[in-house]
């Protein structure tokens, strides 16, 4: 079963690569100008990207493909169609770089060489998280004897570390192949001191960086005509969180094949409401230097994210049997790896 899923995964990604090569050739030609004409050429590819995850049943492979391709790659192509975004030159001049930036959640670091000490700290940080993740998988065997609140914290840690490890592994591969310095995808979100800090600078920076030019900036510029530049960020934040909610609902449909209950959308709209309130308060008291101490604002922020996740986010994961399916897939991967090692030893 796992071998069949892997074969299907490889075939789909081959089709994705061919589709992106087509988009690269369209982008390089001068016959089709940027704008509506180029967008019409890209629409068949974007439509194909919408149905790709439906051909995968695996929680991890399907989730990765949905996030990388259906969300990020589609949005990057929309920007590319109108002469914007990360796929513009110099990326579009090199097909390998174009493919890497298009289908992977990476962002090239501009004029910021990596400090050797920081690189060592990053490796140590990931090593610790991998060890903790391995321990966490074994802890699930005793979930019946663990308090639900503690399980909430463990599930939250699981989602965070899994996402960070997958994105870091992809970034490391891209860096090795392309020889480019890449920006971090996460920046220790558990150290957030506000919702603005959490969503804007620390959590899944790749999603934030693609939502900013595709949703936030166009809505902000349009809203500025009606409410002024000072308050335009508020409708822009709502629009951004709404689109993020839609994309998360779509990804959860791919994962569970269940009709949407809109709990995920409610989660993002609730955070949009709280974040806009936070922005409004900051604008109203501009010039006032008083703020909550980090020792207070940090736990409040992380606690709010955990509580709302437990209330609106994780129930759908459990209905999709994400915890059980994840453990089954880890076991299948272990069996698959052992088979490969046995074959190698026999050579």
pLDDT in tens, 226-239: 888 888 989 999 99
Cβ distance 102 to 45 under 8 Å?
no
The phi and psi torsions of 121 (rounded to 5 degrees) equal -65, -35
pLDDT of residue 150: 81
At residue 185, the pLDDT reads 82
Closest CA relative to residue 52, chosen from 207, 250, 248? 250
One digit per residue, pLDDT tens: the chain, 347 residues? 678 888 999 999 999 999 999 999 998 887 888 899 999 999 999 999 999 999 999 988 999 999 999 999 999 999 999 999 888 887 778 898 899 999 988 877 665 554 444 455 566 777 787 888 788 878 877 777 888 778 777 878 888 888 888 888 888 888 887 777 677 788 889 899 999 999 998 998 889 999 999 999 999 999 999 888 888 989 999 999 999 999 999 999 999 888 888 999 999 999 999 999 988 888 777 665 667 788 899 999 999 998 999 888 888 887 888 777 887 887 787 777 787 777 777 76
Q: Distance between CA 114 and CA 181 in Å, rounded?
A: 7
Place of tokens 């936070």: 278
The 10 Å Cβ neighbour count of residue 305 is 21
What pLDDT score does 345 carry? Answer: 76
pLDDT tens per residue, range 34-71: 899 999 999 999 999 999 999 999 988 999 999 999 99
């Amino acid at each position: 079963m796992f071998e069949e899923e892997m074969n299907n995964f490889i075939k789909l990604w081959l089709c994705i690569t061919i589709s992106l090569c087509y988009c690269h050739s369209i982008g390089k030609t001068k016959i089709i100008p940027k704008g509506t004409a180029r967008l019409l050429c890209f629409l068949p590819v974007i439509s194909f990207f919408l149905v790709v995850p439906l051909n995968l049943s695996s929680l991890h492979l399907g989730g990765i493909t949905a996030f990388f391709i259906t969300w990020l790659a589609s949005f990057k192509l929309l920007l590319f169609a109108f002469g914007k975004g990360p796929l513009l030159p110099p990326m579009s001049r090199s097909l390998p770089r174009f493919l890497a930036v298009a289908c992977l959640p990476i962002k090239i670091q501009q004029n910021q060489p990596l400090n050797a000490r920081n690189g060592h700290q990053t490796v140590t940080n990931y090593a610790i998280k991998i060890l903790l993740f391995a321990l966490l998988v074994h802890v699930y065997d005793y979930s019946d004897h663990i308090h639900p609140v503690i399980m909430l914290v463990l599930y939250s840690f699981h989602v965070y570390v899994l996402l960070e490890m997958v994105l870091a592994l992809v970034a490391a591969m891209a860096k090795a192949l392309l020889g480019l310095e890449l920006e971090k995808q996460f920046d220790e979100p558990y150290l957030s001191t506000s919702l603005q800090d959490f969503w804007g600078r620390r959590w899944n920076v790749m999603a934030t960086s693609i939502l900013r030019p595709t949703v936030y900036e166009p809505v902000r510029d349009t809203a500025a005509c009606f409410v002024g530049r000072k308050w335009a960020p508020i409708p822009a934040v709502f629009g951004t969180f709404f689109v993020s909610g839609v994309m998360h609902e779509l990804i959860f449909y791919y994962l569970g094949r269940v009709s949407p209950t809109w709990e995920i959308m409610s989660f993002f709209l609730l955070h949009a409401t709280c974040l806009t309130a936070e922005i409004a308060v900051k604008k109203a008291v501009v010039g006032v230097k008083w703020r909550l101490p980090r020792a207070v604002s940090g736990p409040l922020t992380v606690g709010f994210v955990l509580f709302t996740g437990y209330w609106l986010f994780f129930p759908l994961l459990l209905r999709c049997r994400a915890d059980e399916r994840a453990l089954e897939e880890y076991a299948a991967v272990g069996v698959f790896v052992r088979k490969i090692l046995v074959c190698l030893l026999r050579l």
